[in-house]
């Protein structure tokens, strides 16, 4: 089976998703298939690695843990059975503080505390529109959006069930997390001074 064999307009659950054996990576958003971009470019990976190290070092000896893609985040609406889950995403990075949401084989069941998406030029609409709605609906406390091409970042913080956006942060500025008090990251350390996309 390949991705081309599926009805792209069909509605699928995690039970379907887990049974697929094709090489293409996909995500499910409200049961709809969203193909993922080809392998990320070097600058994307550079940023992801820097953020992972910064967050991971901060979380040393903390109950919270940071994970990087590919890592399934399953977001159940009602039941937790595979056939009842219609949102499965693979954020670039996610922080999970409730270890009961983690499984050894299938990733995370429930909303992470923080999700980080590093936007590729090819599918920023998916992150900015569809994923924003899903992360807000399921209660992800912070949603970090990184724009590598212009070296800026924005943080959406959940307040009364709705996201409140920060201003845009650029190189040499420092971001702070309300979910992880004390976490402070200077964006020059993330983007690098001479890095190019």
- Residue 100 is assigned to a structural domain of this protein: yes
Enter the pTM of the model: 0.92
State how many domains the chain has. 1
Give the pLDDT band of residue 159 (cuts 50, 70, 90).
Answer: very high
In a domain, 186, yes or no: yes
Q: Note whether residue 32 is domain-resident.
A: no
Tell me the per-residue pLDDT of 47-72, one tens digit each, with 9 for 90 and over: 999 999 999 999 999 999 999 999 99
Range of the domain at 143: 40-191
**Is residue 25 one of the residues assigned to a domain?**
no
Confirm whether 168 is domain-assigned: yes
pLDDT of residue 195: 52
Q: Residue 3: inside a domain, yes or no?
A: no
- Tens digit of each residue's pLDDT (9 = 90 or more) over 79-118: 899 999 999 999 999 999 999 999 988 999 999 999 999 9
Q: Coil, strand, or helix at residue 164?
A: strand
Residue 57 located in a structural domain: yes
Is 152:170 a contact under the CB 8 Å cutoff? yes
Domain annotation covers residue 79: yes
Query: Where is 146: in which H helix or E strand?
Result: strand 142-147
- Please state, in angstroms and as integers, the Cα–Cα distance from residue 141 to each residue in 10, 106, 148, following that order: 30, 22, 23
Residue that is written with structure tokens 């959006």 in the block: 145
CATH number at residue 110: 3.90.1570.10
């Amino acid at each position: 089976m390949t991705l081309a064999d599926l009805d792209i307009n069909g509605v699928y659950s995690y039970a379907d998703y887990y049974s697929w054996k094709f090489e293409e990576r996909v995500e499910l958003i409200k049961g709809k298939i969203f193909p993922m971009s080809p392998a990320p470019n070097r600058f994307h990976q550079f940023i992801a690695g820097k953020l992972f190290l910064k967050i991971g070092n901060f979380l040393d000896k903390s109950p919270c843990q940071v994970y990087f893609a590919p890592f399934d985040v399953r977001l159940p609406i009602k039941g937790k059975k595979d056939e009842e889950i219609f949102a499965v995403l693979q954020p670039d990075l996610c922080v999970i503080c409730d270890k009961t949401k983690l499984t050894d084989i299938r990733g995370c069941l429930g909303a992470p505390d923080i999700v980080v998406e590093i936007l590729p030029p090819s599918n920023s609409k998916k992150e900015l529109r569809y994923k924003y709605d899903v992360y807000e609906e399921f209660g992800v406390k912070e949603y970090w959006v990184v724009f590598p091409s212009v070296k800026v970042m924005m943080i959406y913080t959940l307040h009364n069930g709705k996201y409140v956006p920060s201003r845009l942060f650029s190189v040499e500025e420092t971001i702070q997390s309300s979910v992880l008090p004390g976490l402070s990251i200077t964006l020059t350390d993330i983007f690098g001074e001479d890095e190019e996309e």
